[in-house]
Amino acid sequence: MRDYLANEVRNVCLLGHRGAGKSSVVEAMLYFTKATERLGKTVDGTSAMDYDAEEVKRGMSVYTSIAPVEWKDCKINFVDTPGYLDFAGEAESGIAVSDNALIVVGARDGVESGTRKAWNVVSERKLPTIFFVNKIDEENADFDTAYNQIRDAFGKSVIPFEVPIVEGGKVVGSVNILKNKAWYYNDSKTPKDVPANMQDVVAAYMEQITEAVAMCDDELMEKFFEGEPFSDAEIAKGVRFGIRNGEIRPVYCGSATNMTGIERLMDLIVEYMPSYAEKGTVEAVDANDEPVLLETSENEAATAFVFKTIVDPFAGRISFIKVMTGVISMDSQLVNVQKDKVEKMNQAYIIKGKHQVAVGKLFTGDIGAVIKLQYTETNDTLAQKGTNVRYPAISFPRGMLGMAVWPKTRNDEDKLSSGLQRIQEEDKSCFIENNRETKETVIYGLGDQHIDVIRNKLKTKYKVEVELTKPKVQYRETIRSKVQAEGKHKKQSGGAGQYGHVKIEFEPCESEEMVFEERVFGGAVPRQYFPAVEAGLRECMDKGVLAGYKVVGVKATLYDGSYHEVDSKEIAFKMAAHLAYKAGMPKAKPVLLEPIVSVEVTVPDEYTGTIIGDLTKRRGTIMGQDMVGDNQVIQAEVPMAEMMVYATELRSMTQGIGTYTQKFERYDVAPTNVADKVIAQAAKEKDEE
């Protein structure tokens, strides 16, 4: 593979619903350009893109893969992203380094939730976009229906550039609208005239293209209204401009598995989609967070952005980078701007799915990988010394579905900790929480499949088998009334004795931690024993009298007691405090508190009623709702216990379109029926220990 400059590179992200055939499209292009020896399939384990064991098992993409395709003196870096929502973090990393988008739509299934999500992505980021209607040769496939769904959903910028030829109910070829020529599958090299029965349709679509082109340029608009025809050069110029500003979103069609429509799709990408160099400049920030513009040119100082990391047990850390400016050579040293550490470029690779090709240099706009960087992580910027700039970090979706993870054997605890740390380094959409209170390690992921992939990776990659359980809800306990209690610890065992005697008043207060005071008169309890009393009470407050949860909102006042000149010791007063706690707290009207989370759910307007009704059933209180774009954003406060598997349930209710975030808000008194269940479960667990 030769070197390519920034004006020769097209970075194209593949988006779409799971099963639309995104990976198959890339496989077809690799095979067509002889970059691979066979047309691979994920389910057969022969795919160059979906090669991981998890992808083969599931028959779909789990990770973002890179595939460079050389075509007509250009290099197209295809960034193949997963369509399944559980792997949206992987998709986000690929989208972040793409300059164009190819949305793949199944001819039989049409617009699905993943298609809508893809559209939202390209619209938000203003990515030049092509639609490819795939699988037009499948039974019950219908290009016209699929196209009309796309146009109805996403507007008049969606225009066919290639349509299928159907004879006897079968697709036998396609017509390219711009070229006004037909290609038949049994003679794909020789263009033919457009069939007579399709000439009116082709003319109508050409009129749509012409009108869209006219909207892109004042001179062309005037010519259009005067009825003058456009030259081929004017059409080409207008299409390029229209694709760049979003006024034109071409629709192509074909079948990846039968290699139809692939060649002209690559032609379209090379001819009409912008190169990275066309950006002209890219924005970074300096050490003072002030914006800095750098030229997207090989003559600029070298900078690169790390968008993905793989921790390989054998090769070490593999850092996927996009060269934002300049040229990175393998004898250079770059500074990790975030860590302020110098990194030596040991070896660089062009990534082609599961294959790597070693290269000596990476040029502006290109995507590759470097190995064995010591300090560098995802979202870091590497820059030539003296170029102290950094690029905006990728905003990864945050996992909301939590599962407690336990090693099957105690001997694997260290391996589990190490494996989770490396997984978190690779996967920024999952995070690990070590909960000291519940003594659980909790993995948070985007859904069941995401969690399952993590579990399988722990087993296959890090050799540790784990069990998953629902994490415990962190309830709290408090009291509702004031009581006084006495605790006396007296022990005589032949030698030195132990004696401690305290009287303590417990009352409610506004505090997360216990508030301790003393108002002892006359030296009934010597001052040197106050810390022991406080320590004893704090130990007890970690385990409430109802269900063993941490006690909050309690003020404990030591007001009296007694001591022995010889036998009194700190341990004795500590034990006396324990006895006072056990005697007094059950009489202070203890109650269970449940955590309440603030929830924000974003869904299309048609799901508003369903979501509000569901949140109400979860004992939630609707706090408000706002229309943001085409979506409703619903704010609510809901008990945390009702939200433990909400990530999965929201997906089911909204066909995968809905998203949500939550954060802890406060503790409220749990209803009696809820408290009774929690207390009964705690008692059962205690009996089983």
Please write the tens of the pLDDT for every residue from 372-405: 899 999 999 999 998 989 999 999 998 889 999 9
The answer for residues whose C-beta is within 8 angstroms of residue 353's C-beta and 6 or more apart is 30, 47, 48, 49, 51, 65, 66, 67
In this predicted structure, which of 140-149, 180-189, 459-468, 643-652 has the lowest mean pLDDT?
180-189
Whole-number pLDDT of residue 355: 80
Instruction: Name the DSSP class of 394.
Output: P
* Cβ contact 14:104 at 8 Å: yes
Average pLDDT over residues 284-308: 94
* Cβ contact 383:345 at 8 Å: no
Whole-number pLDDT of residue 43: 66
Coil, strand or helix at 351: strand
* Cβ contact 78:224 at 8 Å: no
pTM of the model: 0.86
Closest residue by Cα to residue 634 from 608, 665, 657: 608
Whole-number pLDDT of residue 574: 95
271 vs 253: CA distance, rounded Å: 17
pLDDT exceeds 80 at position 623:
yes
Give per-residue pLDDT as tens, 199-220: 999 999 999 999 998 887 778 8
602 vs 627: CA distance, rounded Å: 9
Give per-residue pLDDT as tens, 98-122: 999 999 999 999 999 889 999 999 9
Whole-number pLDDT of residue 566: 83
Average pLDDT over residues 672-680: 94
Buried b / exposed e along 365-387 (16+ C-beta atoms within 10 A) = bbbbbbbebeebbbbbbbbbeeb
The top-scoring range by mean pLDDT among 133-142, 337-346, 412-421, 589-598 is 589-598
Give per-residue pLDDT as tens, 28-83: 999 999 988 888 776 667 777 777 888 888 888 889 999 999 999 999 999 999 98
Average pLDDT over residues 158-164: 94
653 vs 646: CA distance, rounded Å: 10
All structural domains of the chain, each given as residue ranges with its CATH number in brackets, are: 6-190+246-278 (3.40.50.300), 280-384 (2.40.30.10), 401-469 (3.30.70.870), 477-588 (3.30.230.10), 592-674 (3.30.70.240)
Instruction: Name the DSSP class of 411.
Output: G
Whole-number pLDDT of residue 494: 65
Average pLDDT over residues 514-536: 93
Average pLDDT over residues 464-474: 92
Average pLDDT over residues 290-318: 91
* Cβ contact 110:19 at 8 Å: no
Coil, strand or helix at 554: strand
Q: DSSP readout, 323-350? A: EEESEEETT-EEEETTTTEEEE---EEE
Q: What percent of the chain has pLDDT over 90?
A: 69
pLDDT exceeds 80 at position 354:
no
> Residue 500: which H helix or E strand, with range?
strand 498-508
* Cβ contact 401:445 at 8 Å: yes
Burial of 409 (0-12, 13-18, 19+ CB in 10 A): exposed
Whole-number pLDDT of residue 226: 78
Buried b / exposed e along 505-519 (16+ C-beta atoms within 10 A) = bbbbeeeeebebebe
Whole-number pLDDT of residue 689: 66
Q: Strand pairing partners for 348? A: 359, 370
636 vs 633: CA distance, rounded Å: 10
In this predicted structure, which of 219-228, 603-612, 636-645, 667-676 has the lowest mean pLDDT?
219-228
* Cβ contact 577:536 at 8 Å: yes
Coil, strand or helix at 16: strand
Q: Is the dihedral of CA 7, 126, 61, 273 positive or negative?
A: negative
Tokens of 302: 């070298």
Give per-residue pLDDT as tens, 258-277: 888 899 999 999 999 999 99
> Residue 359: which H helix or E strand, with range?
strand 355-359
pLDDT exceeds 90 at position 596:
yes
Distance in Å from the first CA to the final CA of the chain: 64
Give per-residue pLDDT as tens, 471-518: 999 999 999 999 999 999 998 776 678 999 999 999 999 888 899 999
* CA atoms within 13 A of residue 383's CA, in its CB half-sphere: 20
Whole-number pLDDT of residue 143: 93
626 vs 655: CA distance, rounded Å: 21
- 């408290």: which residue's tokens? 675
* Cβ contact 118:89 at 8 Å: no
pLDDT exceeds 80 at position 459:
yes
Whole-number pLDDT of residue 677: 94
